[in-house]
Amino acid sequence: MGLRTKFNLVMLVAFLVGWALAGVLAYELSFSNARRQVLSEAAIMSGQATALSEFTVKEIAPLLVGQFNQRFLPQSVPAWVAQTNFRTLQAKFPDYSYRTVVENPTNPADLPSDWQAELIRTLKQKPELKELVSERDTPTGRILSIARPIIITNPACLQCHSTPAAAPATMVDLYGPNNGFGWKLNEVIGAQIVSVPMSVPFDAARQTFTQLMIGLGVVFAVMMVLLNLLLHFVIIKPVRVISAQAVAVSMGNMEAPELVVGTRDEIGSLAESFNRMRRSLANAMKMLNE
């Protein structure tokens, strides 16, 4: 096995090990950043929903309270306002969604689906959780969801949700006396759930990862070509010349010209040493012949 082959094998093994380690690190960084991007989008949506709810409580609901004796206006309900706003957004971005789901809602439209009900049960079992992050596969791709518990902390909420008798008659007339009652103070009754698609940032991360790995492969190929050229002209070619000269001398050709030393590196030092050895051998042979 020649020097060039050994060199290339060692470099190939070193590259494959480094390429694999770089791939693991790049994969982890790319997809971690993509997931953080998805979480950031979900946090922004959740913050916007909270802002809409607080605006409704402080600015809209007080203006509509006086009409409750005539009719119940859902525009006074923070969750209704937030969900209606996000339905407009969802028309343009169907994979993004926001829902306020309750196990026993006043409006049946706020009933949770199976996977949402599972999130609510988890939040109930772990009241210390401020939010619960989950992922699920859908026909359009993987979706990340952030669920935050809905907890009754304001006693005023129980005016509408304790018993049908205590609730506004117009609300009971609109939604009926069977749903949305029996809520208790400091109880987790549901969850605010924001869902964001993971496909776009993860596709971008996958593309970045692929380009990086291809780039590393190209860099290695260029580096191998340059190193092989360096190996050939700096080491292999001079060594072959020295080897050919050594063969000639060993065959008794003392008239062969001395090696030209053009460098001051180890190969040049080897050539100078060979020249001295050749001169010494030539002098020794003359002395013997005399």
Q: Bridge partners of 100?
A: 192
Q: Given this model, what pLDDT does residue 116 score?
A: 92
Angle at CA 243, nearest 5°, toward 241 and 248? Answer: 95
**Over the range 208-219, which residues count as b (16 or more CB within 10 Å of their CB) and which as e?**
bbeebeeebeee
What is the average per-residue pLDDT within 51-70?
A: 79
Average pLDDT of the chain is 83
Angle formed by the axes of helices 237-250 and 266-289, nearest 10°: 10
Q: Given this model, what pLDDT does residue 1 score?
A: 67
Q: How far is Cα 22 from Cα 28, in angstroms, rounded to an integer?
A: 10
Angle formed by the axes of helices 78-92 and 3-55, nearest 10°: 140
Q: Bridge partners of 192?
A: 100, 148
Candidate from 62-76, 93-107, 164-178 with smallest mean pLDDT: 62-76
- The residue extents of the domains of the chain are 11-205, 207-289
Of 158 and 114, the structure prediction assigns the larger pLDDT to 114
Q: Given this model, what pLDDT does residue 289 score?
A: 67
Burial class (CB in 10 A: 0-12, 13-18, 19+), 198: buried
What is the average per-residue pLDDT within 149-166?
A: 82
pLDDT in tens, 4-45: 788 888 888 888 898 899 889 989 988 888 888 888 888 888
Q: How far is Cα 194 from Cα 78, in angstroms, rounded to an integer?
A: 16
Percent of the chain with pLDDT over 90: 9
Are the beta carbons of 175 and 77 closer than 8 angstroms? no
Q: How far is Cα 239 from Cα 113, in angstroms, rounded to an integer?
A: 77
Assigned CATH for 207-289 = 1.10.8.500
**Which two three-digit tokens encode residue 132?**
């619960």
pLDDT in tens, 96-137: 888 889 988 888 888 899 999 999 999 988 888 888 998 888
Are the beta carbons of 272 and 264 closer than 8 angstroms? no
